[in-house]
Amino acid sequence: MEAADYEVLSVREQLFHERVRECIISTLLFATLYILCHIALTHFRKPAEFTTVDDEDATVNKIALELCTFTLAVALGAVLLLPFSIISNEVLLSLPRNYYIQWLNGSLIHGLWNLIFLFSNLSLIFLMPFAYFFTESEGFAGSRKGVLGRVYETVVMLMLLTLLVLGMVWVASAIVDNNKASRESLYDFWEYYLPYLYSCISFLGVLLLLVCTPLGLARMFSVTGKLLVKPRLLEDLEEQLYCSAFEEAALTRRICNPTSCWLHLDVELLHRQVLALQTQRVLLEKRRKASAWQRNLGYPLAMLCLLVLTGLSVLIVAIHILELLIDEAAMPRGMQDASLGQVSFSKLGAFGAVIQVILIFYLMVSSVVGFYSSPFFRSLRPRWHDTAMTQIIGNCVCLLVLSSALPVFSRTLGLTRFDLLGDFGRFNWLGNFYIVFLYNAAFAGLTTLCLVKTFTAAVRAELIRAFGLDRLPLPVSGFPRASRKSQHQ
């Protein structure tokens, strides 16, 4: 065997070992995410649905829960995808020849992007519809009862749904792009149809982020205020404890004397109200025992950090709007070759990359807060050990739609210069200047409007409470007027 053959074999062996190493790393990362998501879902599920007398229903719920765990792990991986890529680029740029990070390369990052794209398609189009139909199925009439009968019915329903969605996407493609070549390309299921369908889903996710993120940015201040202890100037815990104890004593007295000549009391409802008041009183006691540092330093610092992050996000989007008008390179685009470790994607170097990662996580948390705060999706909010299986499926689908659109959302707003890898950069609407420009302008406008409205209302309410005007019998702006019925009482 000649030297050239030995060289070819060594190159092939090296490529084989690199692929095996990338598969092992990807498997370990996904297994970690899967375990974390499984632990989270087991704390939210209804235990009664998994310990029923009917073993068939319990088996079906367990299978659906595993599918939901897989989907939630993919959603968490989509959230971590862009921050992991940005940090990996800075690490390779700082330590280009370090032996211990040779496993971190562009091939691994590109493979992770492709895997997240593939698993997102698989979860949204097949696994989650299968899980929903599987939990709702009962088997065909006249067939043998059991899990296998439910599987047959679910597969038939999934095939019918696939045909329906395929026809709808084909008709939508014909309406949007009336071109024979574009319609014939949809016959290639894996290469064109699934990416086109996922492009539509991603566009809906990006629109959902546009609505939920500004609402969440405004809600983050009130949510943080509920979690932290406010200074005594803004909050009187002694008065809240006194009112809570007084209400609890009144409800307890009504429970002990349920008979009344003019009222029909719901004792079970009264018991729930007493438990809620006891829980509230325990939380107030913990907040009263907080140290002066937590009370006078923690709350102002948290509010300041939220204000800085929100203002920085709006500033970056405003600068990106100006760049879109001047430079064509500011448009989001795809990148097929993941050449990492050559140039930093931030003008501030590693510090700017850290700021980008923090902003991406902050906007994702804000979008989730805004999603569950909106009146349309408030009923989907999971409850501790009291979330039905169908509700878990709906939450997993919504979180996957939001998280899979996060890389496109971040790049469209100009939060990072890291171009989209793999099929994430093949979305047709990313090259439309008017869509990208209007999206940035709408985000900046909606965020500014929500913040101004929230801050003005919060400052007005806090000033009224600080001066004690809320205790006056006169109607004050910002507080609801008393009805005539309550005034006569």
480 lies in some domain: no
Which residues lie below 8 Å from residue 383, measured CB to CB, with a gap of 6+? Answer: 44
Identify the domain containing residue 437 by its residue range: 7-176+183-228+297-454
433 lies in some domain: yes
438 lies in some domain: yes
User: Over its length of 489 residues, how does the chain's per-residue pLDDT go in tens digits?
Assistant: 555 655 666 667 777 777 888 888 889 999 999 999 999 988 888 877 777 666 777 888 888 899 999 999 999 999 998 898 888 888 888 887 777 787 888 788 888 888 888 888 888 888 888 888 888 887 777 667 777 888 888 888 888 888 887 777 777 666 766 555 555 555 555 566 666 677 777 788 888 988 888 888 888 887 887 777 666 555 566 667 777 777 777 777 776 765 554 455 566 677 777 777 777 777 666 666 666 666 677 778 888 888 888 889 889 999 888 888 887 777 776 565 556 767 777 778 888 889 999 999 999 999 999 898 888 888 888 888 788 888 899 899 999 999 988 888 888 888 887 777 766 766 666 777 888 889 889 998 888 888 787 777 666 666 666 555 555 554 444 444 444 444 443
- Phi and psi angles of residue 66, each rounded to the nearest 5 degrees, phi first: -65, -40
- Phi and psi angles of residue 283, each rounded to the nearest 5 degrees, phi first: -65, -40
Tokens of residue 207, six digits: 């629109």
287 lies in some domain: no
Residue 33's pLDDT is what?
92
The per-residue DSSP string of 229-290 comes to PPPTTT--HHHHHHHHHHHHHHHHHHHHS---SS----HHHHHHHHHHHHHHHHHHHHHHT-
DSSP helix/strand/coil, 171: helix
With vertex at residue 261, the alpha carbon angle to CA 260 and CA 267, rounded to the nearest 5 degrees, is: 30
239 lies in some domain: no
- Phi and psi angles of residue 102, each rounded to the nearest 5 degrees, phi first: -65, -20
467 lies in some domain: no
237 lies in some domain: no
Token pair 């050559």 is at which residue?
342
Is there a contact between 119 and 78 (Cβ–Cβ < 8 Å)? no
H helices of 327-432, in order, are: 350-373, 389-404, 406-412
d(CA 419, CA 408): 9
- Model-level pTM? 0.78
With vertex at residue 464, the alpha carbon angle to CA 459 and CA 466, rounded to the nearest 5 degrees, is: 90
Q: How many structural domains compose the chain?
A: 1
484 lies in some domain: no
Burial class (CB in 10 A: 0-12, 13-18, 19+), 412: buried
